[in-house]
């Protein structure tokens, strides 16, 4: 992926330091900050595959840079964020900690050493840059944090979805769906909810579900108390499946 991210604005305070953040975005180089190009890796998984990324310091001060591959955490809504308490072991970065003077850049190798059992691997590449003297400074210190995607797709995709029992969450009907395949291709579909007062038809927003993870797909909002039959048609890649679930809302 030929993408560049340059961070200079959008401050988030974390543990006393303020991080300017970006994810899969681009801000002009004139604004300064930290840049990464390309911003992430996307390729068919192959053990030993190596990709080069270049990190440049466009700020006016020396930055201490930390680069780590991390696993994703995924919420019930489908949103992902890097697990900062863990590293993605199968992905090796040639240099994890170094300093960059203003205007200096460094090219690193990101190497895939192994995959998950399904032949794929998905995670995040996190790059953090802080002023070299951050520990001696007082007050809020501005730093930079960039998060790109690591997508190592399987050479042969397997699609397998498992639907749970519909439930009401935050005033909307949702269907828990887990991915038991080996790809993060989006899951989309249609839904028909039939009750005593009639039938509702709708679409399901395309959502990426990481292999082994479960996401609650939104089906309908503001249903009254009563018995319903939900017919859900799901699609992921070449897979098409329909599930019918009966439920009662109290």
For residue 28, the model assigns a pLDDT of: 34
Fold of the domain built from segment(s) 161-245: Immunoglobulin-like (2.60.40)
The architecture CATH gives domain 5-153:
Sandwich (2.60)
DSSP 156: S
Measure Cα distances from 208 to 38, 57, 82, 123, 245 in Å: 22, 33, 15, 13, 22
Contact predicate 216/227, CB 8 Å: no
216-227 pLDDT, tens digit each: 999 999 898 999
Tokens at residue 128, please? Answer: 């953090």
5-153 with 161-245: one CATH topology? yes
> Taking residues 86-109, what's their average pLDDT?
97
pLDDT averaged over every residue in the chain: 87
Above pLDDT 70, what percent of the chain? 87
Other beta carbons within 10 Å of 117: 8
For residue 51, the model assigns a pLDDT of: 97
The ranges assigned to domains in the chain are 5-153, 161-245
Q: What is the rounded distance in angstroms from the CA atom of residue 59 to the CA atom of residue 2?
A: 22
Q: Does residue 25 register a pLDDT over 50?
A: no
Specify the range with the lowest mean pLDDT, choosing from 25-29, 107-111, 226-230.
25-29
146-205 pLDDT, tens digit each: 999 999 999 999 999 999 999 988 788 999 999 999 999 999 999 999 999 899 999 999
> Taking residues 102-124, what's their average pLDDT?
95
For residue 13, the model assigns a pLDDT of: 35
């Amino acid at each position: 992926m030929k993408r560049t991210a340059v961070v200079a604005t959008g401050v988030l305070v974390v543990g006393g330091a303020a991080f300017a953040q970006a994810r899969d975005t681009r801000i002009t180089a004139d604004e300064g900050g930290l840049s990464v190009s390309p911003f992430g890796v996307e390729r068919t998984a192959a053990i030993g595959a190596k990709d080069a990324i270049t990190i440049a310091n466009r700020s006016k001060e020396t930055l201490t840079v930390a680069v780590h591959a991390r696993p994703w955490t995924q919420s019930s809504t489908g949103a992902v964020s890097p697990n900062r308490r863990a590293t993605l072991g199968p992905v090796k970065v040639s240099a994890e900690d170094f300093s960059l003077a203003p205007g200096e850049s460094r090219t690193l190798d990101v190497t895939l050493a192994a995959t998950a059992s399904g032949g794929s691997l998905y995670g995040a590449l996190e790059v953090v840059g802080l002023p070299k003297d951050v520990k001696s400074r007082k007050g809020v210190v501005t730093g930079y944090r960039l998060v790109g995607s690591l997508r190592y797709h399987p050479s042969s995709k397997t699609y397998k979805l498992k639907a749970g029992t519909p439930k009401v969450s935050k005033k909307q009907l949702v269907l828990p769906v887990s991915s038991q395949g080996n790809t993060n291709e989006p899951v989309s579909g249609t839904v028909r909810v039939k009750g005593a007062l009639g039938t509702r038809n709708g679409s399901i927003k395309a959502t990426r579900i990481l292999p082994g993870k479960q996401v609650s797909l939104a089906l309908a909002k503001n249903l009254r108390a009563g018995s319903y039959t939900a017919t859900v048609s799901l699609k992921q890649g070449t897979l098409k499946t329909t599930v019918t679930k009966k439920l009662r809302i109290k």
